[in-house]
Structure 1
Amino acid sequence: MGAESRALAELQMRLQRSLPFELALLSHLFTMAIKEWQLGLIQNPVANIRKPRVGAGRDRRLTSDEERELTAALTKYSNPMLGWIFRIAVETGMRSAEITGLKLRQVDLDRRIARLTQTKSDGARTVPLSKAAVEALRGAIENPTRQKGCDLVFFGEPGRDGKRRPYNFNKAWIELKKELGIADLRFHDLRHEAVSRFVEAGFSDQEVSAISGHKSMQMLKRYTHLRAEDLVKRLDREGR
């Protein structure tokens, strides 16, 4: 075995330990290096690696008792922004960064929409707002502590440069959950809860994808069991 072949085999063994998304990124980089940059590689070392199976994903739902306790605690919390953020997450399925990064110009309360220009999937989307989401956003936009010129819906304290950046609520969220005894609930679980509610409400896959930003229908398959349970209820109502 030549030096190049041994080096390639060693690299493939190391890459085999990588996560699926890391392998996909590396494969793309090697392909670009070979085809576009012509760096002299003999082949893409990732091409023949068997990709590890992706897990089923977290399936944590927010219970009605937890939602009630969180809502009550957030109502009393010193900074109302945390409560508004929580409500928007449950009502819209928006990611935490999408919520905290919102600018005033992106929110249209009259039309009840929020326009997201920068998302995790790199695609812009328009999110419809429920009445509860509109109420939360109205409270945030009319926040009396907002300084003139601040275009963030959810803003933090000014930095050393005097600029305000998105409100970082992570520490407060963790402490609040710990006090309530629900530390295992992650903020991203609220997105899963929102999407689950859309499915349970009868929205189609295309409609749910348009709201949540899921690019692939494959990513929505984890919610299929919700539709099946709903069909069982329908069968019972029809006496079948």
Structure 2
Amino acid sequence: MAYYEKRGEAWRAQVRRKGYPTLSATFDTKAEAQRWAAGIEGDMSRSRYVDQREAERTSLAEALKRYRAEVSDHKKGAKQEAARIARWLEHPLADKSLAEITSSQLAGYRDERIALGASGATVRLDLAIISHLYTVASKEWNMDGLNNPVHNLRLPSTSKSRDRRPTTAELEKLYAAAADIHPELPVIIALAADTAMRRSELVLLRREQVKGKVAYLEDTKNGQRRAVPLSTRALALIKGLPARLDGRLFSLKPDSVSNYFALARDAAGIEDLRLHDMRHEATSRLFEMGLPVMEAAAVTGHKTLSQLARYTHLRPEDIADKLG
């Protein structure tokens, strides 16, 4: 049975039913209080009632901080995710409870971020944190039945996948410009274009991980160990590096490599080329050399054919030559 009480300018509704917890909420009008109570009583009568008190007591800010400590900190991308969470904590939605955040409110956030110039991929990652937070809260934080507002949200489209590959002439100019910035930089770029290794995989590589013609990677993006076959050229580049006391092949840090690459690219007069395009270049070369799909995937570390396809950009003129 529902009870209503006027308190100042507000109305307080209370629902009591045997076998269920006593629930109460405050509203601006009696009509709102009655609609709320009728909905609760209807769910109880149909055995569809889900206790939302924990979700109503927990703000998005509180949940984000808990998620960061229990989930994000154990991910490989913890630093990047922490930055996204910090941005969420500054948003007005952070003050709302998990139970009251709606899809329309998140749609407002989506449109707001897009209008400010954020890419569709960036906004998708921002919303992915919220979606996973709701999943964790429902399954692990005693918030059974919590509605995930991201599920009914139209996500922004992402930009087209890149298909930029450097020409031989561009690579020669890039290596020359890179050598003027830092002696390790042209070697890193060349290895990236030859092995398909990621930036962090290269700069963290230790000499002891290179055994024979294979580089054994322990710390990869997907967390799985990977063995990367090395070409004669790649082996020569590695052997040409001076030995370091710490055992690493390179002294440069990942962010420094990206910053220096941009400087070298601009100095060489090359447009629209990124360091990560070297991974696309290496992947494409594997197929041009005739490697089957499974062997190419073993080198690059891609788990699915669709992921591998996104990094493969075969030159149509080369295919035309094969057709005769």
Unaligned residue ranges in structure 1 (runs of 5+): 157-164
Shift of 1:195: 0.8
Shift of 1:83: 1.8
Which segment is superposed worse, 113-122 or 11-20? 11-20
TM-score by length of 2: 0.59
Shift of 1:166: 6.9
SS in 2 for 1:19: helix
> Paired residue for 2:279?
191
Mark the CA change 1:7 to 1:27 in structure 2 (over 3 Å): closer, same or farther: closer
Mapping 1:27-106, distance limit 5 Å:
27-39=131-143, 42-74=146-178, 77=180, 79-106=182-209
TM-score by length of 1: 0.77
The AA in structure 2 aligned to 1:8 is T
Q: Distance in 2 between matches of 1:115 and 1:170?
A: 23
Shift of 1:52: 3.4
Q: Distance in 2 between matches of 1:182 and 1:166?
A: 21
Q: Distance in 2 between matches of 1:59 and 1:97?
A: 22
Shift of 1:48: 2.1
Q: Which has the larger radius of gyration?
A: 2
Shift of 1:31: 0.8
Which segment is superposed worse, 187-196 or 33-42? 33-42
Q: Distance in 1 between matches of 2:162 and 2:297?
A: 18
Shift of 1:184: 2.7
Q: Distance in 2 between matches of 1:152 and 1:223?
A: 28
SS in 2 for 1:215: coil
The AA in structure 1 aligned to 2:248 is L
**Percent of aligned pairs with the same amino acid:** 36
Q: Distance in 2 between matches of 1:152 and 1:105?
A: 8
Q: Which one has more relative contact order, counting CA pairs under 8 Å at least 6 apart?
A: 1
SS in 2 for 1:69: helix
Displacement over 6 Å in runs of 4+: none
Q: Is 1:114 aligned to 2:215, yes or no? A: yes
The AA in structure 2 aligned to 1:112 is K
The AA in structure 2 aligned to 1:49 is L
Residue 225 of structure 2 is aligned with which of 124, 132, 138?
A: 124
The AA in structure 1 aligned to 2:286 is F
> Paired residue for 2:90?
none
The AA in structure 1 aligned to 2:247 is D
Q: Deviations over 1:27-79 (max 9, x none)?
A: 222111111111366312222223334333111111111112223444x5374
Shift of 1:10: 4.4
Q: Distance in 2 between matches of 1:231 and 1:36?
A: 52
Shift of 1:14: 4.1
Shift of 1:205: 2.2
> Paired residue for 2:248?
152
Q: Is 1:134 aligned to 2:235, yes or no? A: yes
Q: Deviations over 1:164-196 (max 9, x none)?
A: x67933343222222211153211111111111
Mark the CA change 1:136 to 1:151 in structure 2 (over 3 Å): closer, same or farther: same
8 Å contact 1:118–1:124 — kept in the other structure?
yes
CA RMSD of aligned residues (A): 3.0
Q: Distance in 2 between matches of 1:11 and 1:166?
A: 37
The AA in structure 2 aligned to 1:152 is R
SS in 2 for 1:203: coil
SS in 2 for 1:114: strand
Q: Deviations over 1:85-122 (max 9, x none)?
A: 111111101111110011222112xx211111111222
8 Å contact 1:177–1:185 — kept in the other structure?
yes
The AA in structure 2 aligned to 1:86 is I
Mark the CA change 1:205 to 1:79 in structure 2 (over 3 Å): closer, same or farther: same
